[in-house]
A = this chain, B = another copy of it.
Amino acid sequence: MAKEKMVQQITSMDEDFAKWYTDIFKKAELVEYTSVKGCMVIRPYGYAIWENIQHILDGMFKATGHENVCMPMFIPESLLQKEKDHIEGFAPEVAWVTYGGTEKLEERLCVRPTSETLFCEHYANIVHSYRDLPKLYNQWVSVVRWEKTTRPFLRSREFLWQEGHTIHATAEEAMEETERMLNVYADFCEKYLAMPVVKGRKTDSDKFAGAEITYCIEALMHDGKALQAGTSHYFGDGFAKAFEIMYTDKENKKVYPHQTSWGVTTRLIGAIIMTHGDNNGLVLPPAVAPVQAVIVPIQQFKEGVLEKANEIADTLRAAGIRVKVDDSDNSPGWKFSEYEMKGVPVRIEIGPKDIENGQCVTVMRHNRQKDFVSLDGIADTVKQKLDEVRDGLYKAALENRENRTYKCTDMDGITKALEAGDGFVKAMWCGDEACEDKVKEITGVGSRCIPFEQENLSDVCVCCGKPAKKMLYWGKAY
């Protein structure tokens, strides 16, 4: 009963994808709105997902030699203006502090939309010799961008992220770093979030304000829209020149260093929802699930049931599994639908009969497969189920992407392909920005990236018919 009631409360994703998304983040208690538009409360269950993401990524950053720091949240206007492309890109969307207490500030301060300028000011202070290089820094903070249209996790005025900022002696080293961190992001998304991504490079019209090259990973959501899941930028020596950062090299010459920056945000939680969620709620990849296995006792009032449930929990916990026993007085049916809504990867049911038979029931969230398994070796069994969930999620997401990726060689082909539903379009491009604009205007899909894995679909641009330089991924984007 309870179960049906809960399920009815969620909008089906086929009916209204946007409303389905909202239902999930509300009912799974990830986020709550506040009275400031575009600013959200990340609730314990949502924040625990972010903590798991942080924990894994931070380990990957440190394993690749990075150190954490913390920069101020305020940037003086004059500092933000030092690099001209950068200020042009960000000025329209920053929040300005103009008063401290009752006193008007002499120079207004923006709340960081990103921290390149702060890192540059710092590097100018501490980088003097080749011995000071590289600096491989990262910070976990929130940033503010005054967006017009906002949506929890996907586009908010304040969001949490990490921003890596590195400075190197040579262009080669900086390029290697840019690529290395894109690979870290891609590996993280695929391995831990079970989310396949396309690695590529942004076209010039779409790169980060101040960057020479922007790499990105692009994922495809359930509804066929693309989501940029992470970016890694190569700055060359542009910021160094603007901020007069120079170092003395081994030949005792003063030269400019080369920089990078790279970031992922709480957007990844939105990506998890829209990649794996279904009409029963959230579905979490085990690596970042706050609760990996929930134990629901059946006929818990009967002697020995709760004891056994807690015993199993202890065994799983000792094996490093995040586990919860729900011994509340809600019905098992209510609990089933509650933890489906919350996307707990594995449910374990244990009742008097199971105990008699030395077994329990496991149900995997993503495909609802139900198994009777022995209590002997239960920790290994559950670990195996968690791996199965991860692999099943990845496979399903990859299938969705493949089913929704269309190879097109002319404009009509794009329009026709998209009649089946939104998705990635692969098509050739001459390299001209005018063609990017025209494809978007006519078909509705913009360029997402120039993928590293190139294919030769034809020799000519899908738009103008001139010789093609690259194959692009196109799509509608979040």
Given A32-B125, A32-B126, A34-B118, also A137-B44 (CB < 8 A): yes
> Using Cβ atoms and an 8 Å threshold, which residues of chain B touch A43?
69
CA distance A98 to B101 in the complex (A): 13
CA distance A445 to B126 in the complex (A): 40
The answer to whether A434 has its CB under 8 Å from any CB of chain B is: no
Q: Is the CB of B48 within 8 A of A67?
A: yes
The answer to whether A74 has its CB under 8 Å from any CB of chain B is: yes
Q: How far is the CB of A249 from chain B (nearest CB, A)?
A: 18
| Partner pick for A68 among B47, B75, B157, CB 8 A cutoff | B47
CA distance A69 to B70 in the complex (A): 20
Q: Which of A73, A93, A141 has the most B CB atoms < 10 Å from its CB?
A: A73
CA distance A109 to B103 in the complex (A): 15
Given A97-B95, A146-B101, also A121-B35 (CB < 8 A): yes
> Using Cβ atoms and an 8 Å threshold, which residues of chain B touch A36?
72, 74-76, 109
The answer to whether A4 has its CB under 8 Å from any CB of chain B is: no
Q: Is the CB of A92 within 8 A of B101?
A: yes
A144 (CB) vs chain B CBs: closest residue: B73
Q: How far is the CB of A70 from chain B (nearest CB, A)?
A: 4
CA distance A39 to B121 in the complex (A): 13
Q: Is the CB of A68 within 8 A of B94?
A: no
A44 (CB) vs chain B CBs: closest residue: B67
> Using Cβ atoms and an 8 Å threshold, which residues of chain B touch A75?
36
A102 (CB) vs chain B CBs: closest residue: B92
Q: How far is the CB of A407 from chain B (nearest CB, A)?
A: 40
| Partner pick for A122 among B41, B51, B71, B160, CB 8 A cutoff | B41
Q: Is the CB of A96 within 8 A of B98?
A: yes
How many copies altogether? 2
Q: How far is the CB of A345 from chain B (nearest CB, A)?
A: 20
The answer to whether A325 has its CB under 8 Å from any CB of chain B is: no
> Using Cβ atoms and an 8 Å threshold, which residues of chain B touch A125?
32
Q: Is the CB of B34 within 8 A of A122?
A: yes
| Partner pick for A72 among B34, B48, B137, CB 8 A cutoff | B34
The answer to whether A100 has its CB under 8 Å from any CB of chain B is: yes
CA distance A109 to B34 in the complex (A): 13
Given A98-B96, A98-B99, A158-B73, also A68-B39 (CB < 8 A): no
The answer to whether A111 has its CB under 8 Å from any CB of chain B is: yes
CA distance A76 to B76 in the complex (A): 23
A53-76 vs B, CB cutoff 8 Å, 1 = contact: the mask equals 000000000000001111111111
Q: Which of A35, A109, A137 has the most B CB atoms < 10 Å from its CB?
A: A35
A17-37 vs B, CB cutoff 8 Å, 1 = contact: the mask equals 000000000000000101110
> Using Cβ atoms and an 8 Å threshold, which residues of chain B touch A101?
91-94, 146
CA distance A48 to B32 in the complex (A): 32
CA distance A68 to B126 in the complex (A): 35
> Using Cβ atoms and an 8 Å threshold, which residues of chain B touch A98?
96-99
The answer to whether A398 has its CB under 8 Å from any CB of chain B is: no
CA distance A42 to B139 in the complex (A): 10
> Using Cβ atoms and an 8 Å threshold, which residues of chain B touch A48?
67-68
A123-163 vs B, CB cutoff 8 Å, 1 = contact: the mask equals 00110000000000100011010100000000001101000
> Using Cβ atoms and an 8 Å threshold, which residues of chain B touch A122?
32, 34, 41
Q: Is the CB of B100 within 8 A of A41?
A: no
Q: Is the CB of A96 within 8 A of B95?
A: no
> Using Cβ atoms and an 8 Å threshold, which residues of chain B touch A126?
32
> Using Cβ atoms and an 8 Å threshold, which residues of chain B touch A109?
36, 95
A83-122 vs B, CB cutoff 8 Å, 1 = contact: the mask equals 0000000011111111111110000110100000010011
Closest 7 CB pairs of A and B: A39-B72, A100-B146, A44-B67, A96-B99, A42-B70, A98-B98, A101-B146
Q: Given A96-B97, A98-B98, 17 more contacts at CB 8 Å?
A: A32-B126, A34-B121, A35-B121, A36-B72, A36-B74, A36-B75, A41-B71, A42-B69, A42-B70, A47-B68, A48-B68, A72-B158, A73-B144, A95-B99, A97-B111, A100-B146, A100-B157
14 residue pairs bridging A and B, Cβ less than 8 Å apart: A34-B71, A36-B75, A39-B73, A40-B72, A41-B70, A44-B69, A47-B69, A70-B142, A72-B158, A73-B111, A91-B101, A96-B98, A100-B157, A103-B146
